[in-house]
Amino acid sequence: MSDLEQLKSDALTQIEAAGDADALEAVRVAFLGKQGSISVLLKTLGKMTPEERQTQGPAIQGLRAAVADAIADKKTTLENAELDARLATEKLDLTLPAPDSPQGSIHPVSQVMDELAEIFADLGFAVATGPEIEDDWHNFTALNMAETHPARAMHDTFYFPDVDADGRRMLLRTHTSPVQIRAMQAQGAPIRIIAPGRVYRSDSDATHTPMFHQVEGLVIDKGIHLGHLKWTLETFFKAFFEREDITLRLRPSYFPFTEPSVEVDVGYSNEGDRRVVGGHGDEPGYDWMELGGSGMVNARVLEFAGIDPDEYQGFAFGLGIDRIAMLKYGMNDLRAFFDGDPRWLRHYGFSPFDQPTLSAGVGAKA
Ligand code: DAH
């Protein structure tokens, strides 16, 4: 056997024997690397006579090509084998049965938001959203709270250090009311929306968390008055708490963005250590509990949002979602809502199959 044939047979044997990518790479370096035996042979071509080169050149080049091809083939074979091995070990049997007990549960806040959407959808309301990172124009100014308005200070606002391109201060929205402005600007009148979502205030104790949930309501149309507001809230609370004996009291109040403004109280009684909604708050054994704020949208707010207050008017309301969730489902510590404790979720959470629907009932049982 000539030296070249010997070299070729050595190379092919070693390539065949390489068990993995590293071993194969070592063989490649040994033969075709900078100091590899075939590379060294190629360099000798330069010192040969032209006649020698004519026979030796093609022979050495042929050897190099044959070895390179064998290495490439072996590489493909090794990769295929590796893929087969992975497919075999990572096999997933999709026919396995689901676990005996359901693993996740729906958080009461999500459940109540779904209930709200379902009830208000039946009354013709769409769900609107807005950003949680807001600017102070939407969160305050357009809601009739000028820079110097004392209500701004009452909101315990989390501000960002930045201002936006229009020089507006950025903040975490302190209420869902800015969605009113965005909805009016985006769609004009008439409007019927609710806007559930997260809001933020720098406030923390047993009944306040820095993040909590509100639902905003907004109706804009011709000839809207306080009677529409009271009927809408009453109809909502009856459907939400699933009882007919809901009595609301609208108590005069003040919000910059409504005129007149009212606070919404509901009659309730105590059953053990639990407050149960229902009944007339002035009757013996009953009392009033505040559920939220509302009123007729201030004409200045309509103007800020580009709606003509001589043609359109409307009402708005804002309710604390966490609060009505606690009332309906009997939790008494707000902070536990956001602890992420799986035991709490297992106890108070809802089955994903318990979709609230008006026909089947919006009062899913935990
Ligand atoms: N945005 C108010 C708050 O967070 C709640 C509120 C009051 C909303 C009256 C309204 C309203 O839409 O009309 O304290």
d(CA 336, CA 346): 13
280 plus 134 within the same structural domain:
yes
Q: What is the pLDDT of residue 1?
A: 58
pLDDT digits (tens, 9 = 90+) for 189-225: 999 999 999 999 998 887 889 999 999 999 999 999 9
298 plus 205 within the same structural domain:
yes
Q: Is the residue at 359 inside a domain?
A: no
pLDDT grade, residue 251 (50/70/90)?
very high
Percent of the chain with pLDDT over 90: 74
d(CA 260, CA 140): 18
End position of a domain, from candidates 42, 57, 89: 89
142 plus 84 within the same structural domain:
no
User: Mean pLDDT throughout 133-154?
Assistant: 91
Asked if residues 283 and 249 have their Cβ atoms less than 8 Å apart, the reply is: no
CATH of the domain at 266: 3.30.930.10
Q: Is the residue at 163 inside a domain?
A: yes
21 plus 121 within the same structural domain:
no
171 plus 46 within the same structural domain:
no
End position of a domain, from candidates 61, 89, 117: 89
- Asked whether 36 lines ligand 1 (CB < 6 A), one says no
Q: Is the residue at 362 inside a domain?
A: no
Q: Is the residue at 289 inside a domain?
A: yes
d(CA 181, CA 173): 13
Report the 3 state secondary structure along the chain.
Answer: CCHHHHHHHHHHHHHHHCCCHHHHHHHHHHHHCCCCHHHHHHHHHHHCCHHHHHHHHHHHHHHHHHHHHHHHHHHHHHHHHHHHHHHHHCCCCCCCCCCCCCCCCECHHHHHHHHHHHHHHHCCCEECCCCCEEEHHHHCHHHCCCCCCHHHHHCCCCEEEEECCCCCEEEECCCCCHHHHHHHHHHCCCEEEEEEEEEECCCCECCECCEEEEEEEEEEECCCCHHHHHHHHHHHHHHHHCCCCECEEEEEEEECCEEEEEEEEEEEEEECCEEEECECCCCCCCEEEEEEEEEEECHHHHHHCCCCCCCCEEEEEEEEHHHHHHHHHCCCCHHHHHCCCHHHHHHHCECCCCCCECCCECCCCC
141 plus 238 within the same structural domain:
yes
Number of structural domains in the chain:
2
Q: Is the residue at 356 inside a domain?
A: no
- Asked whether 216 lines ligand 1 (CB < 6 A), one says yes
pLDDT digits (tens, 9 = 90+) for 289-335: 999 999 999 999 999 999 999 999 999 999 999 999 999 998 988 88
Mutate to test the pocket of ligand 1, among 155, 171, 175 (most ligand atoms within 8 A of CB): 175
Structural domain that includes position 113: 108-347
148 plus 292 within the same structural domain:
yes
Q: What is the pLDDT of residue 301?
A: 98
Residue 365 has pLDDT above 70, yes or no: no
End position of a domain, from candidates 56, 89, 122: 89
183 plus 67 within the same structural domain:
no
Residue 267 has pLDDT above 80, yes or no: yes
165 plus 274 within the same structural domain:
yes
- Asked whether 177 lines ligand 1 (CB < 6 A), one says yes
200 plus 266 within the same structural domain:
yes
Residue 366 has pLDDT above 50, yes or no: no
- Distance from the Cα of residue 194 to its chain's centroid: 18
Q: Is the residue at 51 inside a domain?
A: yes
Q: Is the residue at 316 inside a domain?
A: yes
Mean pLDDT rounded to a whole number for the chain = 92
137 plus 58 within the same structural domain:
no
- Asked whether 356 lines ligand 1 (CB < 6 A), one says no
197 plus 61 within the same structural domain:
no
Q: In 10 A of CB 138, how many CB atoms?
A: 23
Q: Is the residue at 205 inside a domain?
A: yes
